[in-house]
Amino acid sequence: MSLAQQQEFNCPYCMAVNDIEIDPINDLDQQQILDCQICCQPIEVMIVEGHEGLEVIAKTDDE
């Protein structure tokens, strides 16, 4: 049984919806660099605990 959760977020460059698989134990408060599934730009992603569960904060690499 996998503990990973699917989460969606918008690319900060092209605003396309991207999917990410989150491991709530290991990915919380960890920074990752992912490429957009549409425009291939590098996205800086942070997984944080929000009011409604885990949230994905996505920003450009120059923010």
Beta partners for residue 43, in sequence order? 34, 60
- How many domains, the chain? 1
Reduce the DSSP state of residue 56 to 3 states and report it. strand
**Residue 5 burial class via C-beta count within 10 angstroms: exposed 0-12, middle 13-18, buried 19 and up:** middle
Are 45 and 34 contacting, i.e. CB atoms less than 8 angstroms apart? yes
pLDDT tens digits, residue range 7-61?
Answer: 999 999 999 999 999 998 888 999 999 999 999 999 999 999 988 888 999 999 7
Asked if the model's pLDDT at residue 1 lies above 70, the reply is no
Reduce the DSSP state of residue 14 to 3 states and report it. coil
Q: Domain of residue 55: give its range.
A: 5-60
Global pTM reads 0.82
Neighbour count for residue 1 (Cβ, 10 Å): 2
